[in-house]
Amino acid sequence: MVNGQLGKNFGLRVGSPQLRNPDSLSIHTHLLASERADRADRYVPETGGAMTKSIKDTLARKSFWTATAFYIVIGFEFLYMAGPFGAYFYSIYGPGLNFFNETPPFSWLTRFFMPHIVVETSSVFINWHNAVGASLAVLGFAAFLAGASQVYYNKLTKKGPVTGGVYRIIRHPQYGSFAVSGFGLLLLWPRYIVLVMFITMLFGYYWLAKVEERECEDKYGQSYRDYKKATSMFIPFPLFLRGQPCLPGSGWKRKCSQAILYTLAIAVCITWARIIETHSLNSLYTYSTADSVTVSVVKISPETLKTIVATALSNEDVRKRLMKHGQGAHYLNYVLPTKWYVSEVPMQTGEGFYHSQPGDYDRNLYKIIFTRVDLRRADYQDATGFLRRVTRRVPVAEVWIDMGRNRVIEAKEPSPAIRYENIPVAIY
C-alpha cells in the first residue's frame, strides 16, 4: 500500500481535486460526490415548500447510496488486501492436509518441524517459539488495524491524506503487518505446508504491491518515482541497499527470475526447517525401546520416563490391552501431568477441557497414554526416525501413576472419540 503522504512529496495541495490518496484510489470518486452533495445542501432555500423537501429527500437518498457504495468499496478493498493472508491462514487446518498425509511423496508437508504438543524441551530456542509466535501474530494484526483505522478515519472525516507515522518509513506497512502476523502463526503451527504457504503469501503481497505502484507511477510520474527512491517497500533498509539491482526490469527474463527466486526461497526455507526439525526432535525428553517411543510433554529425565513405563506395564489390565495388538505393533506413548489435557493427544478429557496446562501440578502424579501407531516404514534407527514415520495413532490405554509410591492409580479406557479425527495433527 502507498501512503497518503504523497501529497506533500508530489507538491500537490491537500484537498486539491488533483490529489487522490494512493492508499485506495477508488475512494476519490466518493469524496468528490460527497463534496458536491454538501455544496448542494448549502444552497437549499430556507423556505419550507414542497420543492425544498423534494430536493432534500433526493439529496438524502443520494448521500445514503453514496455512503453505502463507499463502505462496500472498503469491504472489497479489505478482502483484496487480506486475500493472500486468508489463503495462508486456511492452510493451517485445510481439508487438503489429509490428502497430503495419505500421499507418500507429499506426506512430509503435513509434519511439524517444531513442537506443538510438547511444552518443555532441552532447547531454550524451541521452548520460546510459541510465546514469540503468539506475540508476533497479535502485534502484526494490531499494527494492520492501527494503520487501516488511521487511513479510513482520515477518509471518513475528510481530514485529507495520512501524512505521518510508519508511511514515512515504508511504502506498504499494512502488507508488512500481515507478513509479521503470518510469521507468528507459522511459529504457532510450524507445519511444512504452512511454511510453503507463508513464502507464497509473501510473494503474493510483493506482486500486489508492484501492481499498485505501477498504477501510481502512471498517475503521478516522476514524483512517485522519487518517493520510491526515498522510501523502502516493506523493510526500512539503509539507503545504500535500496538502489541495488535485483531483478530484470520486465519481460520474460523478469518472470523467469521471479520463478527461480520463488523456488529458491522455498528450497532454502525447507532446508532450514528440516534442520530445525532435527534439532527439535533431538531436544525432546524421550525414552525408547525396540518397538516404542515415549515422549514427555514436560521436563522429565529418561530414567523417570523408564520408571513410568515400567510401572504402567506392571498392571495386568494394561498388558492385556497391549497384547491384543500383537507382537509386531509399534507404540507412541505420551507422558504428562494428571491435571493436563491436550486435545491433539487421544486421551480422556475433563468436562469442558480440551487444552489445559496448569503450572501448579503435582510432580509425583503423571499419566501415560499408550497409542498404537502405523509407520510409513519400519526402518527407523532412533526416536527421531520413528517420530518422522508416524502416520496414524490408535488409543490403547490411559494409565495414571503415583511416582511417590511407584504404583498405578487407575487404568482407564481409551478415549472413545479423537478430536480432529480427519485432520493430521501434531504428534509431538
SS (H, E, C) 173-241: HHHHHHHHHHHHHHHHCCEHHHHHHHHHHHHHHHHHHHHHHHHHHHHHCHHHHHHHHHCECCCCCCHHH
Q: Which domain holds residue 267?
A: 6-280
Residue where one domain finishes, among candidates 246, 280, 314: 280
Helices 27-42 and 50-90 pack at an angle, to 10 degrees, of 160
Within this chain, do residues 144 and 24 fall inside the same structural domain, yes or no? yes
In a domain, 421, yes or no: no
Within this chain, do residues 239 and 142 fall inside the same structural domain, yes or no? yes
List the CATH number of the domain containing 383: 3.10.450
In a domain, 197, yes or no: yes
Within this chain, do residues 291 and 219 fall inside the same structural domain, yes or no? no
In a domain, 419, yes or no: no
Within this chain, do residues 149 and 234 fall inside the same structural domain, yes or no? yes
Distance in angstroms (rounded) separating the CA atoms of residues 136 and 18: 39
Within this chain, do residues 124 and 195 fall inside the same structural domain, yes or no? yes
Cβ atoms of 92 and 185 closer than 8 Å: yes
Residue where one domain finishes, among candidates 240, 255, 280: 280
Within this chain, do residues 165 and 68 fall inside the same structural domain, yes or no? yes
Q: Please name which of 343, 84, 364 lies closest in space to residue 207, comparing C-alpha atoms.
A: 84
- Reduced to 3 states, what is the DSSP secondary structure of residue 160? coil
In a domain, 94, yes or no: yes
In a domain, 154, yes or no: yes
Within this chain, do residues 71 and 26 fall inside the same structural domain, yes or no? yes
| Gyration radius of the chain over CA positions | 29
| Domain total in the chain | 2
Within this chain, do residues 147 and 16 fall inside the same structural domain, yes or no? yes
- Residue ranges in the chain whose pLDDT is less than 50: 1-53, 55-83, 85-88, 90-91, 240
The owner of cell 526416536 is: 383
Within this chain, do residues 141 and 29 fall inside the same structural domain, yes or no? yes
In a domain, 294, yes or no: yes
Residue where one domain finishes, among candidates 280, 302, 326: 280
Q: Please name which of 115, 93, 120, 113 lies closest in space to residue 340, comparing C-alpha atoms.
A: 120
Give the global pTM. Answer: 0.72
Distance in angstroms (rounded) separating the CA atoms of residues 89 and 98: 17
Within this chain, do residues 151 and 214 fall inside the same structural domain, yes or no? yes
Within this chain, do residues 385 and 317 fall inside the same structural domain, yes or no? yes
Cβ atoms of 416 and 147 closer than 8 Å: no
In a domain, 117, yes or no: yes
Distance of CA 87 to the CA centre of its chain: 10
- Number of residues in the chain: 428
The owner of cell 520416563 is: 305
Cβ atoms of 50 and 44 closer than 8 Å: no
C-alpha cell at 372: 498404537
Cβ partners under 8 Å of residue 95, min gap 6: none
Helix residue ranges, H only, 105-172: 124-127, 129-156
Cβ atoms of 305 and 286 closer than 8 Å: yes
Return the H-helix or E-strand segment holding 292.
strand 292-296
Within this chain, do residues 203 and 272 fall inside the same structural domain, yes or no? yes
- The distance in angstroms from the start CA to the end CA of the chain is 40
In a domain, 428, yes or no: no
CA–CA–CA angle 235, 241, 244 (5° rounding): 120
